[in-house]
A and B are shown apart, each in its own frame.
Chain A
Amino acid sequence: KAGVTQTPRYLIKTRGQQVTLSCSPISGHRSVSWYQQTPGQGLQFLFEYFSETQRNKGNFPGRFSGRQFSNSRSEMNVSTLELGDSALYLCASSSQGQGVTDTQYFGPGTRLTVL
């Protein structure tokens, strides 16, 4: 069974630009969660999608948005990039979601650098 895949793996953007990251979950998983990881703040929850609906949202500004398609693939968009958005963006998939005790499987992440 293929794992969670994220594209691209590395990305360099400049301030003010926007970026779209993609996540393909494990086949059959309906929940996709997004996380931001930085050396200063550690891992922080961005949002969770389940069956194309945003089910939970963390404390991030509206510049961070996402969506999920009918095949469970998910995209995350960050508009008007700031230097502080430089981070490793991780997505994780599971069968039922973070509130249930099923295992979350993480992808390798997308390393975003904002110059």
Chain B
Amino acid sequence: KNQVEQSPQSLIILEGKNCTLQCNYTVSPFSNLRWYKQDTGRGPVSLTIMTFSENTKSNGRYTATLDADTKQSSLHITASQLSDSASYICVVTLNTGGFKTIFGAGTRLFVKA
């Protein structure tokens, strides 16, 4: 069954600290993996997009990694800011002739001052 699982479900960190969010998937055949940030009440914003051959992609303080062999991805946030408080969603697209998108349930991050 094609699934995308994210952990932890929620996380509280202090401002200035680093954190890492996890995404494990059982999707095949894999096309690409995306990380999105979604603020409450707003649409998701794309952070990174990675294909099978890419294992690291950065966007400012956000760095995503991908291990296609173990089907794991992580999103590392460096020097967190209060504005990083949001849900982070891992999305995997598979190619079965047509494209199908599977969303993780997200990790809710709270950054405290």
Q: What residues of chain A have their CB less than 8 Å away from a CB belonging to chain B?
A: 4, 33, 42-45, 48, 55-56, 58, 90, 92, 97-99, 101-109
Q: Which of chain B's residues have a CB closer than 8 A to the CB of A90?
A: 43-44
Instruction: Output the residue of B34, B98, B99 with the most chain A CB within 10 A.
Output: B99
**Cα–Cα, bound, A104→B37 (Å):** 12
Query: Is the pair A106, B44 in contact by a Cβ cutoff of 8 Å?
Result: yes
The stretch of B10-18, B66-74, B101-109 in contact with A is B101-109
Set A4, A44, A99: member contacting B93, Cβ < 8 A: A99
Q: Is the CB of A98 within 8 A of B44?
A: no
- Quick check: is B111 within 8 A (CB to CB) of the other chain? no
Tell which of B43, B49, B103, B104 touches A92, judged by Cβ atoms closer than 8 Å.
B43
B77 on the A face (CB < 8 A): no
A97 with B99, Cβ < 8 A, contacts A43-B89, A90-B43 known: yes
Among A42, A55, A103, contact of B103 (Cβ-Cβ < 8 Å): A42
Judged by DSSP, the binding face of B is strand
Listed A/B pairs (11) with beta-carbon separation below 8 Å: A33-B101, A43-B89, A43-B91, A45-B100, A55-B99, A58-B100, A92-B43, A92-B44, A99-B93, A99-B95, A102-B49
- Number of cross-chain contacts by CB at 8 Å: 55
- Is B103 a contact partner of A56 (Cβ separation < 8 A)? no
State whether the Cβ of B51 lies closer than 8 Å to any Cβ in chain A: yes
Instruction: Determine the residue in chain B with the shortest Cβ distance to A106.
Output: B43
Assembly CA distance A42 to B44 (angstroms): 12
Pick the 8 closest A-B CB pairs, nearest first: A106-B43, A99-B99, A43-B103, A45-B101, A103-B46, A101-B49, A42-B105, A106-B44
